[in-house]
Structures are given as structure tokens and as C-alpha cells.
Amino acid sequence: MARAERPSRYINHEWGSSSKLDASFRFCMVYPDTYELGQANQAVRILVNVVNAQDGMAAERGFLPAADMCDALRDQGLPMFSIEGCAPLRAFDVIGITLPHELAATNVLEVLDLAGIPVRAGDRTCDDPFVVGGGPCAYNPEPYALFFDAINIGEGEQSLVEGLQLIREAKEQGASRDDIRRALANLEGWYVPLLYRWRNEEEAQAAGSWIEPLEEGLPTTITKRVFDGFAQSPGWEPCIVPFAEAVHDRLNVEILRGCARGCRFCQAGMMYRPVRERTADNIVASVVEGLAQTGYDEVSLTSLSSTDHSQIREILTRLNEVYAGKGVRISIPSQRLDSFGVDMAGLVAGQKKGGLTFAPEAGTQRLRDVINKNVTEEDLFGAVDASFAAGWRRCKLYFMIGLPTETDEDVKGIARLVQQAYDHARAVVPKEQRGSIQIGASVALFVPKAQTPFQWDGQIPPDEALRRVNLLRHSVKYRAVSISWHDPKTSFVEAVMSRGGREASYLVEEAWRRGARFDAWSEHFNEQAWRDAASALAFDVEAAAQTSYPLDYVMPWGHISCGVSTKWLARERDRAERETTTPDCTFGSCSGCGACMRLGLDNELAEPRVGTCQPAETPDSFEGGSAR
């Protein structure tokens, strides 16, 4: 421990931690990155709590040690361990690993190897724990197919418990590992890759699916599970106050789940439907209880789009009244790009006005219509006017380059938009304060994501991405405007992982064996390991990331359903081509995505908005799809 950087990462007994020593069945929830990142993850907290609430079950947390500690453990022949009991991961009945983003893939193998568990599920015996996965990247599970005994698709509050209960009862009855996998495969929302043959491309397109069951009776489509009690569940639940400083070291209260704005690049907006809101009473009571229990002086009201909550004004007003003069800060992680978003930000900022962030995503109205952003320049400039007039002096704007149909004029449009935003800020700030104005643009490379209308679109090559970044930089004439951008090389790996089929799991394994790990960390990212792995396997990574497909092409994740109809996704891609927008169904009529119908759960708003949610057309009504 003396050799380890930040040893507080590995110490038990944080405030709020607990252990169930009398439980006969043990589960470890693992985040495949360091403590600072994983401790802030709400899914880890939620699932540990829900398992610990079961009689006879105990849940602990595990985090991948930092690179220096990984090496130290290997040098000493010591296994990866849990936090609560400092127990070897191999000692647990089941290990759950969340898949938070594509660049965590090699870390999954680092976890398993450091724990002394065979990295391939097919190599494990009855002496090894079951290894299950879940999380955002599970919506294309194939790049992880080799490594998991089973993958949970969707929200885990109910389905994870059901899976663990099945494993527990089957083990008590002496069932074999194969029998348990087979039983899991027949449990709603669970996918067991080992029980399906992976077809070649020609077979897959002819059959309409890349997977073929190896036994009769196995499901051919795995539909996500949703937590149907979210809206009624309390927003406060026990949480850890860490010794080490976490990335988001504050109380987090999830106020709503889902988003129906329908941005066509956004995977989260598709996979978390339908929208479900907790009530203002629930949220206010949860914040009061949570702050009292933890001692935090900051709370974040989390969701994909917090200012879209139907009672957000009431929530913020009531919290301001409760905590007036008490030094408690309330934050919302996302602002709507309009004056209402600024108004809500003003309710939580008080006198502490740091910086605001807005996400126009694209530099021209044409491209914003393509991606269904549903905001205008007037919305942006109105937000800038309102925020700088109200006392803010820093603003960051988020954009993407490489979006489908993007042209050089769209890239130049980013420069124009940012410069006009700066002009608006100067116009409303007193002359003597104009030197404090900071306007910046952060640019990310578009990554096509599974389960979105842009899943059929390829990513632009890294060298083309850099050309567009340089075009943007040279188009900005104001020295006061800053431009930052993400490394296209890491975004390229993200695209390979986002769009890859089962063959990508062999690429992950080979890249890891060649030294790839902590790929999301710039100081650890090893592009050469990925390139060498691709070369060794004759894996065409450029084709995986950059190929565009016709809308009737069956993608490698076609057997996984997030509830949204594939035909609706294709219709949305067709509407993008025609630069036609689709409104948010929580503000108006249903767009026919099919999520509510397939999942048996409607949007649940705490306070109904004007308009109804009646289908405008059936989710399977679109029959288009020619090659582009």
C-alpha cells in the first residue's frame, strides 16, 4: 500500500458503507475503472443497495485499481479485491461488471485477469464466479460476448435481483454451469452469448439476425427490462461518502429517467425511454434526507435533461426556501438551451455564478434539423443574453463534427455561431467587465451508436476529423474565443466498439494482451496495441468504424431491443435526410417509436403537460430504406 498512489482509494469503512456478514450468497458490483470515477456512478450505488435489501444476499463494491496498483498486485501475486470486505473477487458467487462506455472494454479483461478468473466465459469451471454484465454498452453486447456468462439488458433494479435469485437457487440445487446459463437465457432481459452461434454476414442478412440459437426454445430477440416502479420509488437511498475525492463528490438525486427529445445521435435518449418523473414532494424530501444523512453541502438533481422535469420550477423554488442562508448548493447537470434553462440555472446559482454549458451540437440550422436538436440560433442567443445579463461571465458550447450530411459550411457555421454568441455577451455586459467574458467551444467527433437513427452511418476517418478541426480553428477570428477538441484516435476506437459484432470481442482480447488498458485515459491510451491487434487478426477496423449501410441492413445488435422499433429508427434516419424534425412526445403527441407499447409502460410525468400522447402512426409503418 505504501507504493500505491492515493491509497485512500482502497480503504474500507467510508461513511455509509455496510457489510452483511451473515449472508450465504455474495455479489460484487464492479466498476471497470478507478475508485474516483466509479464511486460517483449511480448504477453501482443503486444495484448494491437493491441486492443488499434481499434476505440472504450481500453486495459489495469493487473498482479496478489504478495502473500502478494493478502492477503492484501482480508483482506481489495478490488478487483484485472488494472494498467492503477486502475479499478476493474469486470468493464471490457472482461478479457484476457495468459497461459504462466503449473505452472501458479492455478494463473488463484487466478486472478478470487481476481477479484470477479466466477472461473467456467458456473457459470457466464450477469453481469460478458467474460473471454478468450490464449498462449502456450492453445494448450492443457482441464486443463483450466472449467474456460474460450472461448480460443483463436494461435497468437492473428488478431484473438483476431475479437473475441472482435464479443463480442462487440453481446452485443450491446442484445445477451445472451450463444449466444455469440456459435458465438465465430464458429469463426476460437476459442474454447468454455462449448459447448462440454467430452467423457470417451473408447468413445474417438473409436470416434477419446475426445470432442463431444453439438449442430450441431460446429467445431470438432480447428486450430490455425497465424498472416500472421508478416514479414511485424514493429518490434518497443510502450512499457512500468517500475518503478519496471522487469525480462528483456530492449528493446525487435522480429526479427523472429517460428523455424523449429524440436527438438522432443520442443513444441514451433511445435506450432509457419511456420518460418517468419522480414528484416534487418525493425529490424535495429525498434531498432533505440525503443531505442530513451524508453531511454534503451540495446536491445534484440528475437526469438526462433535468430542466425538462414538469415540476422543475417548483422543485428548485422549494429547495431554495429550505436551504436559504445555509450554504447548500443545488446544481442541475444540464441546462435547456433557451431562456427557461437560464432561468432555472439562476434559481440554483444564487450569487455563485461559475460557468454555464449549452449544447447546440451543430453550427447551422440545417444540420440541427438533421440531428433533430430542435433548437434555433434565437434560442441560443436568447440564452446567452439572459445568462450574461444575469451575471454569468463564462459559457462553454458543445458541438460535434462528422455528423451525417455535414459539410464544410456546417463546420464554419460553428465558428460563426460561437463568435456571434461572444458578440451577444459583450452587448449585455457592462464595458468595464467585458474583459472577464469567456466563451469557448468544445468539439467531439461523432460516434455512431447502436439503437439510434444514425446507427447505419459511418464515422469520418481520423485524418478527416483533424482537417475539419483545423478548418474550424482557422475560421474563428476572435482571439477571445477558445476551441478545444477530443482526440479522434480514441473516438475511432469508440466507433469500432460501438458498431462491432462478435468478432470485435477477439479484437478487445488481443489489444488487451498487447498492453491496452485504461483507454479512456489519455496518458494510458495505446493506439498501437489496437492497431497491432487488428493486424494480427486481419480485422478491418476502418470498415467497422466507417462503413455506412442501407437502412434495411441488419446491424450486429439487431437481436437486442431497447423497446424502440428498428423501423421507427429507420424512419427517423429518413427524416434526417429530408431535414425534418420530430417533436418531443412529452410535450405533444406520440411519435410512434413503440417503446411504451412494447415495454407496457407509458411516460409518467409528475405534472401532465398540455397535449396528449396518442400515436401519430404505428411504429412499424415505415417501409423505406435505400442505400445511401
Q: Which three cell numbers stand for residue 627?
A: 442505400
| Phi (first) and psi of residue 319, to 5 degrees | -65, -40
75-99 residue pLDDT tens: 999 999 999 999 999 999 999 999 9
Judged against a pLDDT cut of 80, whether residue 609 lies above it is answered with no
Is residue 619 over pLDDT 80?
Answer: no
Residue range 461-487: mean pLDDT, rounded: 95
Residue 445 pLDDT > 80, yes or no?
Answer: yes
pLDDT surpassing 50 at residue 624: no
For residue 545, what pLDDT band results from cuts at 50, 70 and 90?
A: very high
- In 3-state terms the chain splits into helix, strand, coil percentages (rounded to 5) of 40, 15, 45
Report the pLDDT value the prediction gives residue 616, as an integer from 0 to 100: 42
Query: What are 302's strand-pairing partners?
Result: 254
Give the helix ranges, DSSP H, for 177-324: 177-185, 201-207, 267-271, 280-294, 312-322
In tens, the pLDDT along 550-603 reads 999 999 999 999 999 999 999 999 999 999 999 999 988 899 999 999 999 999
Inter-residue contact 361 to 400 (CB < 8 Å): yes
pLDDT digits over 373-405, tens only?
A: 999 999 999 989 988 888 888 899 999 999 999
If you write DSSP's letter for every residue of 509-535 in order, what string do you get? HHHHHTT---TTSTTT--HHHHHHHHH
Segment 411-415 shows an average pLDDT of: 97
**Inter-helix orientation angle 42-52/156-172, to 10°:** 50
Contact by Cβ (8 Å): 391, 430: no
Q: What's residue 472's pLDDT?
A: 97
Q: What angle do CA 30, 541, 112 make, to 5 degrees?
A: 20
pLDDT in tens, 196-253: 999 999 999 999 999 999 999 999 999 999 999 999 999 999 998 888 888 888 999 9
Residue 172 CA to residue 563 CA, distance in Å, equals: 34
| 592 vs 333 pLDDT, higher one | 592
**Cα 504 to the chain's mean position, in Å?**
20
pLDDT in tens, 11-65: 888 887 888 888 999 999 999 999 999 998 999 999 999 999 999 999 999 999 9
For 214-230, what is each residue's pLDDT tens digit?
Answer: 999 999 999 999 999 99
Which residue segments constitute the domains of the chain, with CATH numbers given? 7-153+156-214 (3.40.50.280), 224-334+563-628 (3.30.750.210)
Q: What are 109-129's pLDDT values in tens digits?
A: 999 999 999 999 999 999 999
- Reported confidence tier of residue 611, pLDDT bands at 50, 70, 90: very low
The answer to whether 395 and 356 have CB atoms below 8 angstroms apart is: yes
| Rounded alpha-carbon distances, angstroms, from residue 68 to 71, 167, 181, 214, 225 | 5, 35, 36, 43, 38
The per-residue pLDDT for 628 is: 29
Average pLDDT across the chain, whole number: 92
pLDDT, average across residues 429-447: 92
Predicted model pTM: 0.93
pLDDT tens by residue, 273-331:
999 999 999 999 999 999 999 999 999 999 998 989 999 999 999 999 999 889 898 88
DSSP string, 98-121: E--SGGGHHHHHHHHHHHT--SSG
